[in-house]
């Protein structure tokens, strides 16, 4: 999994980079087809904003989280992305449905 972490109006310290990497590594544990993760950390006045775009299973997933603390924003972002990735995995896995019971009866 390729991960890119950039910052707008904020310096991405090694601690922030390590924290974001650790939190978003969970995505690859839940779903093997995660190709890349692009994270943008942004500061606008008092808001700390974390955004992520994930390429997984041939689809692009996007989430954003705003908080007063950058670490809390990264936590919320990782929870949102985790939920989206698990939902995508369930959709892809449950693509083939079984026939309803009333159609299984033989005539």
Four-way CATH pick for 2-93: 3.40.47.10, 3.30.160.100, 1.10.10.10, 3.30.420.40: 3.30.160.100
Give the number of other Cβ atoms within 10 Å of residue 61's Cβ: 20
What pLDDT was estimated at residue 98? 63
Longest CA span, the chain: 70
- The owner of tokens 């603390």 is 69
Q: What is the pLDDT of residue 94?
A: 74
Q: What is the band of 28 on the pLDDT scale with cuts at 50, 70, 90?
A: confident
Q: Strand ranges (DSSP E) for 1-107?
A: 2-8, 34-44, 47-56, 59-67
* Average of per-residue pLDDT across 21-39: 88
Domains of the chain, residue spans: 2-93
Average pLDDT score, the chain: 87
Summarised one tens digit per residue, pLDDT across range 54-72 is 998 789 999 999 999 999 9
Nearest in space to 10 (alpha carbons), one of 46, 62, 37: 46
Listed as own residue / partner, the contacts of 9-16 with beta carbons closer than 8 Å and 24 or more positions apart are: 9/42, 9/43, 9/44, 10/41, 10/42, 10/43, 10/48, 10/70, 12/41, 16/41, 16/70, 16/71, 16/74
Q: Is the pLDDT of residue 17 over 90?
A: yes
């Amino acid at each position: 999994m390729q991960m890119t972490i950039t910052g707008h109006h904020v310096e991405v310290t090694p601690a922030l980079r390590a924290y974001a990497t650790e939190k978003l590594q969970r995505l690859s544990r839940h779903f093997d087809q995660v190709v890349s993760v692009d994270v943008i950390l942004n500061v606008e006045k008092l808001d700390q904003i974390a955004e992520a775009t994930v390429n997984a299973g041939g689809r692009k997933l996007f989430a954003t989280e705003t908080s007063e603390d950058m670490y809390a924003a990264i936590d919320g972002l990782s929870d949102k992305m985790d939920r989206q990735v698990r939902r995508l995995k369930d959709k892809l896995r449950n693509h083939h449905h079984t026939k309803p019971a009333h159609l299984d009866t033989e005539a």
